[in-house]
Structure 1
Amino acid sequence: MLKKCVVCGKEFNSKNGVITCSAECREIATKEKKKKYFKNYYEGNKDEIIKRIMRNKKR
């Protein structure tokens, strides 16, 4: 099945639901996914994270 790479837009034969055409594109997609996840996590837990950092600085 031909699919379009989510990173570079190149068409490739997809196997088992793969969404990227190469290891390089997979690495880029993974970094972006992690960046988005941690940004959302920080926004949802900002107060707790800041409290923990301040508590650790006092030690």
Structure 2
Amino acid sequence: QAADLERAGRPVQQALVDQLNDLRDQQYKLQADIAGYQAARVKAEAGFAEDRVRVQRLTQ
């Protein structure tokens, strides 16, 4: 909607601009959250792999 208004040479309402900025900020936060969750997953997988090796050594 904002792009259509800009292309038509009409001003974009400040409320719409604010909403777009809020959504952009939320998107960046969610992307950072996802990156953190992915890093935690990789760390957990590495820990599980180490535990698996340790259990195999102890049970042989």
TM-score bracket for the superposition, by shorter chain length: 0.3 to 0.5
Higher helix share: 2
Name the one with the larger strand percent: 1
